[in-house]
Structure 1
């Protein structure tokens, strides 16, 4: 049971970053984005989860490619 809670804590800590970033980008509450993904997953039988994983992958690649530098000396 401890392994279950460890995995749950990991996904809660790291997984909601996608929802938070999408919510900030759209200017809406994070809770609305999370519940939308949950409803979309149940209605479309897994498409919402696949979309969530795709967006997580896309944001990760974007973070690796694009880094904000504050000055010329940060190179």
Structure 2
């Protein structure tokens, strides 16, 4: 049972990061984004979850490609 809670904590920590970044980008609360994904998943029988995974993958790729450099010497 402890393994289950560790997995749940890991998924919540990483999953809410995606919702938080989307919410920051759109200028709304992260709670609204999370509930929207939940409702979308129930209504469309899994499309919301697939969309969520796609956005998480896209944000990860974006982080790998675009890095913020503070000065010229960071090259």
Deviations 1:18-42 (A, max 9, x none): 1000000000000000000000000
**Corresponding residue number in structure 2 for 1:58:** 58
In structure 1, the gaps of 5 or more residues are: none
In structure 2, the gaps of 5 or more residues are: none
- Kindly report structure 1 stretches of 4+ aligned residues shifted beyond 6 Å: none
**Which residues of 2 match residues 1-75 of structure 1 at below 5 A?**
1-75=1-75
For the aligned residue pairs, the C-alpha RMSD in angstroms reads 0.5
Report the TM-score, using the length of structure 1 for normalisation. Answer: 0.98
